[in-house]
Amino acid sequence: MKEKLTIVKVGGAVVEDELQLAQLLRDFSAIEGRKVLVHGGGRRATKMAERLGIETKMVDGRRITDADMLEVVTMVYGGLVNKHVVAELQAIGVDAIGLCGADGDIIRSVKRPPKNGIDYGFVGDVKQVDGAKIAHFIEKNLVPTIAPLTHDGQGNILNTNADTMASETAKALAQLYDVTLIFSFEKRGVLSNPDDDESVIPVITRSDFERYKADGTISGGMLPKIENALAAVEAGVSQVIITLATAIDGQHGTIIK
C-alpha cells in the first residue's frame, strides 16, 4: 500500500495576505504525513512590477512574460515569496525546503509557442517532472515548497502556471504515493453562482465539467484550474479538492472525480 501524500497549492491572493497565509500554513503544518506545498504569487509580482515601472500585460488571465517581467517573477516567486513561506514554515516546526523547477532539475518545461497571434514570452509548459528527485527530499523528512518557475534545460528560467505545477507534480508523485491534491484559494469551492458563496458544487466529473463549460456555469480562470484537476485524477491522483484556503483539511469544497 502506498504511503499517503498531500499536495497543497496556495494561490497568490492568499500569499499576499499575511493573516490568511499564516493561518493556511498552520493548517498545512497540521496535515498528517508526507506533504508538499506549491505556491503562486502573481499579485505580489504585479505590485513589484508597478514599483519598478514595468507594465503588466495579461491575456485571458495569463501573464505575458517579456524579459523585464521574467526578472520580476524570478525575484518575486523564487526569492521573496518562496523564502518567506519557507521561513514561516520553519517557524512553526515544518522543515521546508524551497525549490523551483531548476533546482535539482525537478521540473523542466518548454517555452510556449505563440498561439492565435499571442506571444506569451518566457512562459513554460511543463514537459517532465522528476518525481523520484522530489521524493528524495520527502523521504529525508523535508517538505518541498515549490515556486512557479521552471527551466528549459538550456539555461532559461520560465514562468509557469502554479496550478499546472501542482497538477504535474501530483501526477508524477502518484506513481510513488497515494496522492491527494488540494487547490486552495479565496472561494469555498467551485461555485454554480459566482455571487453566492454558498453555491458550492460538491462533485465535478469530466462529463459534469463539459456540461458546465458549455452552459457557462464554469468560465474564466476556473476552467484551466479544473482542467488541471481532471488531468491529475485521470493520471492516477487519488483525490483532488478545490476549496477555501482555511479549509484544507479535505472535508470541504469541490471534489474532482
CATH assignment at residue 128: 3.40.1160.10
pLDDT(61) > 80:
no
pTM over 0.85: yes
pLDDT band at 60 (very low <50, low <70, confident <90, very high): confident
In 3D, which of 77, 66, 84 has the Cα closest to residue 165?
Answer: 77
d(CA 149, CA 137): 18
Q: List Cβ<8 Å contacts ≥24 apart for 44-53.
A: 44/12, 44/15, 44/16, 44/76, 44/80, 44/81, 45/12, 45/69, 45/72, 45/73, 45/76, 45/77, 48/72, 48/75, 48/76, 48/80
- Three-point CA angle 256, 250, 164, nearest 5°: 50
- Domain range for 98 is 4-256
Domain count, the chain: 1
What is the model's pLDDT at position 220? 82
